[in-house]
Amino acid sequence: MAREFTRVGVVGLGTMGAGIVEVFARNGVDVVAVEISEAALARGRATLARSTDRAVAKAKLAEAERDALHSRVDFQVGLDALHAVDLVVEAVPEQLDLKRRIFAELDRVCRPDTILATNTSSLSVTDVAVATDRPRQVVGMHFFNPAPVMKLVEVVRTVITAAEVVDDVEALCARLGKVAVTIGDRAGFIANALLFGYLNQAVSLFEARYVTREDLDAAMRLGCRLPMGPLALLDLIGLDTAYEILNTMYRRGGRDRRHAPAPLLRQMVTAGLLGRKSGRGFYTYDRPGSSTVVPDEWTPAATPAGADGAREVTRVGIVGSGTLAAGLVGLFGRAGYQVVSVTGEAQEPTGLGQAVRDSLDEEVRRGGLDGVDRDAALARITWSATLDQLADVDLVVEAVTGGPGVEQTLFASLDEICKPGVLLATTGSSLPVIEVAMATGRPADVLGLHFVDPAAAVPLVEVVRTVRTSAEATATARAVCAALGRTAVVCGDRAGRVVDALLFPYLNDAVRMLEAGYATADGIDHAMTLGCGYPAGPFALLDTIGLDVALAAQRALYRESREPGLAPAPLLEHLVTAGYLGRGTGRGFRDHTPR
């Protein structure tokens, strides 16, 4: 029989604590909510009121339920108020000394049978536990932000925690409507160990001016379907908290340089730019605690049409005959461009032509296009066997597959054939774009257009600007992407651009975690979907993308950066060698029914 928790305490009512109070009180548990001062208590109370009022406004909570919820919360200053609770969840700032002091004090104040839990993200629960005389009754209860919404709780069991305490806390999580994943005491547990390297890397890309904050966040939202971009997420977490978590992870997690906090984070924290809670972080908010972003000096100015030097594009050549080329022919045709598809066959090529028709028919079925527009799109496409037909196009998009040197040879030919001022774009990702650009005599007009496959479905295009690309060429690419109904993200010419550079190291880290035996593939997938709101966990995603594709991308990132933490995980290499490539081969990290 699991233990009954009727009255619990929460210490610290900041970003996390106020949400944790709400979770308990919503589920019928009485809460003693404790802060350090009357002012902090008032802030915590206001946060709870705002959150429950929002839930009422969205019809997720009835007014009577909200009032009942508030009547269950007893707001108090000082830990002495916790003498009669069954469980305490501590959510004070991420500092070991502070937490140890609070746990020693809780040990003195609370009944001997009270369970003490910490919501720490990265500190050692064991270090906190041994500050008390009841280390067997100390666990980690790591809620996710926002606590009322995210379903996951990481229950952290130390080597001293009693088994029945873990059982009781797991049962309590179920009663709160949460999914508990129980794990050992390791820096960052599951989710933060995978999340914070990614967040820190994102800050570094922004700090290096490789990409703007808006483009960076859009890339991860649209390219990976994440609920928030990394900089917006850091503002939600709190930059001070994120800084402390990274610092601890760096110290506890083997001094991986990828966890050494980006210098910009430190500067922002020192300047009081803490994110939403202070009203300003990477973005500016209409008031402290608000989620409403307001324009500031970094907000891109709306440029009047034509003022950015974008050139007019009406005729587009697409070179290639694979899936991507087919997707692009349909996409440009639909958007009203005259398209010359160069495939090596003078007639409409059977496979490619059918693929274009199929993708447009699919759009008609989905209601995104009517039959007349489909026919008009098809009428705008001409098929060509040779590059000569590209003499008068305004943009060429290369989407060929081939061995080394193929792209450079092709661009050298385009340089001879195309009229001056044409934008030449490569969709390839195996070579730096500048190597392709330098095969022409017009590198200022060459850039990368990285469409995420399937091009017809993913609303993002990475526009890769080399050190020689002109501002006009970049502006033209942006305008074309907008005309295609796609969001353009402009970035520098580095391996993985934005999305792959941030995605694959995270996937590789997940494989390392599995390899180390810290958690199961299911546990890790749950942590990222239920704790961070990701649409798929890393192993589900790896099996879909293909392990060989992931390995190649990771190798490219490692080759370019020489960063030891980016070396491909041995388990990933072994699975690829064994031919376990994911869904396509029926087996990857999981078994799949063969297609």
Ligand X SMILES: NC(=O)c1ccc[n+]([C@@H]2O[C@H](COP(=O)([O-])OP(=O)(O)OC[C@H]3O[C@@H](n4cnc5c(N)ncnc54)[C@H](O)[C@@H]3O)[C@@H](O)[C@H]2O)c1
Residues in touch with ligand X (CB under 6 A): 11-17, 34-36, 40, 91-94, 102, 119-121, 142-145, 237-238, 241, 245, 277
508 is catalytic: no
3-class secondary structure per residue, 95-123: CHHHHHHHHHHHHHHCCCCCEEEECCCCC
Q: Of residues 22, 35, 142, 363, which has the active-site annotation? A: 142
Q: Of residues 51, 124, 145, 192, which has the active-site annotation? A: 192
Pick 40 or 171: Cβ nearer ligand X:
40
Nearest residue to ligand X, by Cβ distance, number only? 14
Distance CA 402, CA 311 (A): 30
Q: Of residues 51, 119, 121, 200, which has the active-site annotation? A: 121
Pick 17 or 349: Cβ nearer ligand X:
17
154 is catalytic: yes
Give the H or E element holding residue 64.
helix 63-71
Distance CA 21, CA 374 (A): 55
Pick 184 or 344: Cβ nearer ligand X:
184
Distance CA 317, CA 381 (A): 10
Residue 185, strand partner residues? none
Pick 7 or 100: Cβ nearer ligand X:
100
Specify the residue for token string 């902090």.
Answer: 40
Kindly state the smallest distance separating residue 480's Cβ from ligand X, in Å.
Answer: 39
Give the H or E element holding residue 74.
strand 73-77
- Contacts of residue 279, defined as CB under 8 A and 6 or more positions apart, other chains included, come to 285, 286, 287, 288, 289, 290
Give the H or E element holding residue 209.
none
363 is catalytic: no
Kindly state the smallest distance separating residue 418's Cβ from ligand X, in Å.
Answer: 51
Distance CA 545, CA 552 (A): 12
Kindly state the smallest distance separating residue 502's Cβ from ligand X, in Å.
Answer: 19
Pick 51 or 145: Cβ nearer ligand X:
145
Would you say 554 and 506 are in contact if contact means Cβ atoms under 8 Å apart?
Answer: no
Q: How many CB atoms lie within 10 A of CB 538?
A: 26
Q: Of residues 22, 35, 94, 154, which has the active-site annotation? A: 154
561 is catalytic: no
Kindly state the smallest distance separating residue 16's Cβ from ligand X, in Å.
Answer: 3
- Contacts of residue 113, defined as CB under 8 A and 6 or more positions apart, other chains included, come to 86, 137
Kindly state the smallest distance separating residue 352's Cβ from ligand X, in Å.
Answer: 48
Pick 12 or 349: Cβ nearer ligand X:
12
Kindly state the smallest distance separating residue 72's Cβ from ligand X, in Å.
Answer: 20
What are the distances in angstroms from CA 33 to CA 46, 101, 116, 177?
A: 13, 18, 15, 21
Catalytic residues: 121, 142, 154, 192
